[in-house]
Amino acid sequence: MQAVTGQNEYNSSRLVIFSLAMVFFCELVAAQPFSGLSPLEKTLFLRVVQAGLLVLLIRRHSQGLALAGMTREHLGRGIRVGLVWSGVFGLTVGICGGGLFLTGINPLEMVSAPIPFKGRELIFFFITGGLVAPVAEEIFFRGIIYGYLRCVSVPMALALTTLIFALCHARSGGLPLFQMVGGLVFALAFERSKSIAAPIIIHVLGNLALFSISVYTLSWR
């Protein structure tokens, strides 16, 4: 029994190491110019490749699908949790935004993201940032990193994956509050549902809502 447990821990450690190496490699490739591809097209291509390779690594692990919440057993629950939590999260953000608006603060300026305002680029932006990137990120952060750390300690997994996720999205040296809250919600949804579908749905719907608000804000400037 101890030998089996040790082998599983060894395989899980290898999964994390290979996944980190693969993600790091994709980021290095992303920094290189691609002839004939715009930055958004290049990012979309690399995120699709990244997600595909992560799934292949997970499938090679003896218990990878269960570790990453990709089994059919919890899929239905994951979808329900994702949709319900997205609604609650959106309602909470809306109420907070309404409160800020009443105090004279425009909440739309606080959550708007830099959006390319051209037709083709805008479409690629929504596909990449609103659909493909959230899937790749959730597979990596929640499916692999959180799935591995939770075997040691759930509170540690919640704290570390939230912090790492926020740091990876930091732009000006500080911790992005929105990403920290989002990262914690994604991890809690995964823990609650045991399905990667839950954080993927929340992440996708949250990004699409954020981008739509940003387009609306830019259109009125």
pLDDT at 175 over 70: no
> What kind and span of H or E run contains 190?
helix 177-193
Predicted confidence at residue 202, as pLDDT, reads 96
* CB atoms near residue 19 (< 10 Å): 21
Q: How far apart are CA 69 and CA 186, in angstroms?
A: 13
Average pLDDT across the chain, whole number? 84
- Yes or no: say if 200 and 83 are a contact pair by the CB < 8 Å rule: no
Work out the average pLDDT over 91-103.
84
pLDDT at 172 over 80: no
Q: How far apart are CA 26 and CA 44, in angstroms?
A: 12
- Quick one: pLDDT band at residue 16, thresholds 50, 70, 90? confident
Work out the average pLDDT over 158-176.
80
Work out the average pLDDT over 31-59.
85
| Proportion of the chain above pLDDT 70, given as a percent | 87
Q: Which of 58, 212, 211, 32 lies closest to 138, judged by CA?
A: 58
- Quick one: pLDDT band at residue 221, thresholds 50, 70, 90? low
Q: What is the DSSP letter of 221?
A: -
Work out the average pLDDT over 19-25.
86
Say if pTM beats, i.e. exceeds, 0.85. Answer: yes
Predicted confidence at residue 212, as pLDDT, reads 86
Least confident of 10-14, 28-32, 44-48, 152-156: 10-14
pLDDT at 3 over 50: no
Predicted confidence at residue 159, as pLDDT, reads 94
Residue 192 neighbours by CB under 8 Å, 6+ apart? 81, 198
Q: Which of 22, 18, 187, 142 lies closest to 10, judged by CA?
A: 18
Work out the average pLDDT over 23-45.
80
Work out the average pLDDT over 70-75.
93
Predicted confidence at residue 6, as pLDDT, reads 45
- Yes or no: say if 157 and 150 are a contact pair by the CB < 8 Å rule: yes
Structural Rg of the chain based on CA atoms: 18
